[in-house]
Amino acid sequence: MPRKSSPVNIDPRVKRTRRLLRDALVSLILKKDFASITIKEVTERAEVAYITFYRHYETLDQLLMEVLDEGLVELMTHIETLAKQSDASALETEGRLIFEYILQKADLFRILLKSQSVTRVRRKVVRNIAIIFQKSCVPLERLGNQVTINIASNHIATSLLALIEWWLENNMNPSPTEMGKVYKSLIIDSTVGAVRSLSIVSM
Amino acid sequence: MPRKSSPVNIDPRVKRTRRLLRDALVSLILKKDFASITIKEVTERAEVAYITFYRHYETLDQLLMEVLDEGLVELMTHIETLAKQSDASALETEGRLIFEYILQKADLFRILLKSQSVTRVRRKVVRNIAIIFQKSCVPLERLGNQVTINIASNHIATSLLALIEWWLENNMNPSPTEMGKVYKSLIIDSTVGAVRSLSIVSM
DNA sequence: TCCTTTTGTTATACTGTGTAACAATGTTTG
DNA sequence: CAAACATTGTTACACAGTATAACAAAAGGA
- The tens digit of pLDDT for each residue in B75-101 reads 778 777 766 665 556 767 778 888 998
Of B19, B64, B68, B70, the residue nearest B45 (C-alpha): B19
Cβ pairs A/B, distance under 8 A: 90
Question: B185 vs A194: CB contact, 8 Å cut-off?
Answer: yes
Give the residue, B202 or A151, on which the prediction is more confident.
A151
pLDDT at B202 over 50: no
Q: Chain B contact for A152, CB < 8 A?
A: yes
- The tens digit of pLDDT for each residue in A68-92 reads 877 777 777 877 776 666 555 676 7
Mean pLDDT of the region A114-130 = 76
Collapsed DSSP state (helix, strand, coil) of residue B119? helix
Our measurement of CA B168 to C1' C15, in angstroms, reads: 38
Q: Which residues are CB-contacts of B92 (< 8 A; sequence separation ≥ 6)?
A: B180, B181, B183, B184
Give φ, ψ of B54 to 5 degrees. Answer: -70, -15
Q: Which residues are CB-contacts of B141 (< 8 A; sequence separation ≥ 6)?
A: B134, B135, B149
Asked if B196 and B103 touch (Cβ cutoff 8 Å), the reply is no
Q: Chain B contact for A172, CB < 8 A?
A: no
* pLDDT interval class at B37 (50, 70, 90): very high
Q: How far is CA A62 from CA A22, A39, A50, A75, B198, in A?
A: 11, 12, 16, 20, 42
- The tens digit of pLDDT for each residue in B119-174 reads 677 787 888 888 888 876 666 666 678 899 999 999 999 999 999 999 999 999 99
Residue A3: what pLDDT?
Answer: 57
Q: Chain B contact for A131, CB < 8 A?
A: no
Collapsed DSSP state (helix, strand, coil) of residue A52? helix
Cβ under 8 Å to B: A residues 2-61 = none
Q: Chain A contact for B189, CB < 8 A?
A: yes
Question: B197 vs A178: CB contact, 8 Å cut-off?
Answer: no
Mean pLDDT of the region B3-12 = 68
Asked whether strand D has any atom less than 7 Å from the CB of B12, the reply is yes
Domains defined for chain A, CATH in brackets = 12-58 (1.10.10.60), 66-200 (1.10.357)
Our measurement of CA B39 to C1' D17, in angstroms, reads: 8
